[in-house]
Every structure is written in C-alpha cells, then in structure tokens.
Amino acid sequence: MPDCAPPLAQITPVGQTLPAHACDSHFHIFGPADVFPYAEQRPYTPPDAPFEQLRRLHRQLGISRGVIVQPGCHGYDMAATLDALDRGAGQYRAVALLAPDADERRIAELDRRGVRGVRYNFVAHLANAGWDELAAMAPRIAPFGWHVCIHSDQASLPGLLTRLKTLPVPFVIDHMGRAAAAQGTTSEAFRALLALRGHPGAWVKISGLDRVSSSGVRPFQDGEPLVSALLDAMPERLLWGTDWPHPNVAGAMPDDGELLNTFLRLCPDADLRRQILVDNPDRLYRFESVDSP
C-alpha cells in the first residue's frame, strides 16, 4: 500500500505563457508498479505517477522539456526512467542512481539514452550512500560531462559544499539545499549556498518550495525570500523544477500551477526567465545531444 499522498488532481492555471523549450528540471516517475515494480528495499512506497500523467501535467503548465530524477523507490533499477526517456522524443533527460560498481560501459549506455548526472542523498530519512562512494564515482563520470546531484538538508549542506568544490565535476544542489525558511536568508546553510555565486561548477535548483517552508502551508510564502535572494545573487546558475509528484510531503500537497506562478511573479524579467527555464538547463543537460534508442 502507498504511504505517500498522490499529487493534486486539479491545479491552478498558469497565468502567463512560458518561453519556448521551458524545462522542468526536477521531477520523478513512479511506476506503474505492475510494469516497473518498486524496489524491495525502498524508503517509501508512492502511488503510481507514470510518464503519461507527467506529460499531461507538463502540457497544462506549458512545459516541453524536463529532467527525470531517479527516485529512491525504484533504487538502481532505471527501467521506468529509461522508458520515459525513450518515449520522450529527445525532450527529456535524467539523473540516475548508480550502484557503486557501475563501470564506464554502463555510464556510456546511460549517457547515450539521455542521462546526465548521478544523485546522492544526504538527508536522514533517505538512504545515504556516503561521501566516499560519491568521491569514487566523480572521476568515472567526468569524461561524460555529467554532474553530481545533491539532496541535502539544513544540517548537512555547509559541510558538503566545502567538499563538493574539490570534485572534478559540476554539482547541483536540489531544493535550495532545503535551507529552513524560518531561519531566513542569513542562516549558515543559506549563506553557504549564496557563496556559490561565481563558482563555475555550481548549480542550484529553485524547487521544493514546500520543503524549505517552515509553515507547510500553501502557497509556502515563507520560502519566497530564499527564492528572491537566489534570483538576485546567481540567476546564471539556477534551474527551476516542480518536484512532482511530491513524495513524502509533510504538510499541504503543493499545487504545481501555483508553484510556477510563484516563480513567474518573483522573476518578472523575461530574459531572466528564459535563462533559468531554457538556457541554463540546455547548458547542463545538453538537450541537443542524444542518440535515438
């Protein structure tokens, strides 16, 4: 039985037209479990959220590109994600979970299919592979132009950033590092995030507004100062994502249309919007380069 709530069936309409090739840089595909079973040892059991459902959401939002982040409930089994990439007509990319023994041949195959990075979790409620595994993988993925994707939290972020800067690959911080909104833009974790400005290998996702919110109440306005501070400091290193279908939500289930409207309101400049929604993801995920399956 699922232990996570499903995403909202109805979302708020998006108030403005997005630029062509707008990208949702963070979401997950779940199942369907009767085709793509969940891992036996999984940190949570979600309701199915298959690729077809994701495509409907993206049509509603006006999004044509996206990045699938391999979820912990599927573990190292990339079948659901690879199926979505194959069906996505070149408009989707992915970030993998890789077994520690993944070799160059496996990485090359995933790269050909559209995978562009490897994710590691450093939050307490998810499996934490540890720094040694990440550091050993980095030189293996470097020749492919991949990055490491980091799911951190308020406690782990500052120490991780010091280490991440030593890697031979770029790194992406998910969900604004999950810095706590209640501590504002002057907390140690968020100041460390802002200090990435100018670092050539650092990227930050404006995603998970509900995950940084300390209220847990829609529309998660207490997290907006964090978004605004990042927009002011480093728009050339930002990515935007929904985090659909929002697994393990502690408070109110996010409304994806509402989340996008919040971003558009906080980023009214058309050129900056295009940079964050189109140009930045195109640079990092290389949408122009993928072979046919």
Could you give the residue numbers annotated as active site?
243
Q: Are strands 171-173 and 92-96 parallel, antiparallel or unpaired?
A: unpaired
Q: How far is it, in rounded angstroms, from Cα 108 to Cα 104? A: 6
In the chain, the largest separation of any two C-alpha atoms, in whole Å, equals 47
φ, ψ at 96 (rounded to 5°): -95, 165
Q: How far is it, in rounded angstroms, from Cα 83 to Cα 96? A: 13
The edge-to-edge listing of strands for the beta sheet with 238-240 is 23-27, 65-69, 92-96, 115-121, 147-151, 171-173, 202-206, 238-240
Helix (H, G, I), strand (E, B) or coil at 25: strand
Q: 3-state secondary structure string, 130-188? A: CHHHHHHHHHHHHHHCCEEEEECCCCCHHHHHHHHCCCCCCEEEHHHHHCCHHHHHHCH
* Residue of 226, 238, 158, 165 lying closest to 192 (CA atoms): 158
What type of residue is 216? G
